[in-house]
Structure 1
């Protein structure tokens, strides 16, 4: 009889264990640390501004608003073009390794692709059509850059933020000093370039972060003396625009 009771108790225990619901995994925010890598041109590099570039400021905001430890790398190169960034990602093993090790990748590129056409326009040998012909190449390069970033990250959660430009040429008081025609063409070309950049980013599910809005009210306030690069206030605006997007790809369950 004792043996029978023991068997019954053992069977009941097994049944309870068998029908206990599986625990539900709770959604927890990653604790990091996160690594940020910025690719781009002189804007990313912080040229013409004796200040902390937006990459560093964005890292500060990320740390403050998420509580996650953050490190950042700034790989911005003055004069860099979109095909130059792509070539570096494909051919420079150190850059590729750094991107592969990054949870957040920032990309600001495309304005320098238009320098030749701007020179032709200023010499009177180019109209808006010259600039239009550059746009498919910029879009294709941005698409390929984001695609390469995804490939290097090998399916890991990654925040890829591609910025557009407030202006691909000079803006504010500097642009005004160059005349109405310059201001008009710069705004037209900027709209075309931003559309190409954002289309390239969207094609690979990257976020395109708008920089036109933050600079619109008073571009001069956010620009260095050359009218081409951000000053300290401009870099702060860029960092805030990036941070306002959030960190959804890294914090979603």
Structure 2
């Protein structure tokens, strides 16, 4: 899962990352940080973000500018701000919780706990893949990996069949269960389809799948991917 922390103060940003990792649900999360509204909106448009921890004062910009993008993406938001007089407005627009600064660790854990009941959503047993030939229902169990960029993705099935889908990869990622792992901005793989992880050029990593296909692992996600796969392979 991906969590976005929107905070312009670097020490506060790092502390939020540490506190987030202390919660068992988010120990292996992919944490992305942004320090302004523009970058936060870019991440929300390109990643399937599950949760945003949002400061409201960002280099003079209003953090409420992030909320509309989060709402459009179906992402939950916990506001972390010293501007407690704005809490009522924040709740009016649908945030999960409002944690006042300076952040109390126990209070943040409570807020993260409140996210969980809403976060456990039923995932579909099938994906509806829309291509130039029309709509096709594809069982999630048949999906091996997904690759793509911009507005089109390729869904590769266990059978080797390849379907083109005319939506961004982040849209499909939001529909997939935890059996799938985003390893790169352009690649999602089925965890149990990974045969091995190879060393790539310049210290990069490459995943080899059971069908022989190879997909790159982004530098930002290497630690998360290795940690997740090692845990899955442990006896």
**Which structure's relative contact order is higher, taking Cα pairs within 8 Å and 6+ residues apart?**
1
Normalising TM by the smaller chain, what interval? 0.3 to 0.5
How does the TM-score come out when normalised to structure 2?
A: 0.40
How does the TM-score come out when normalised to structure 1?
A: 0.38
Larger gyration radius, structure 1 or structure 2: 1
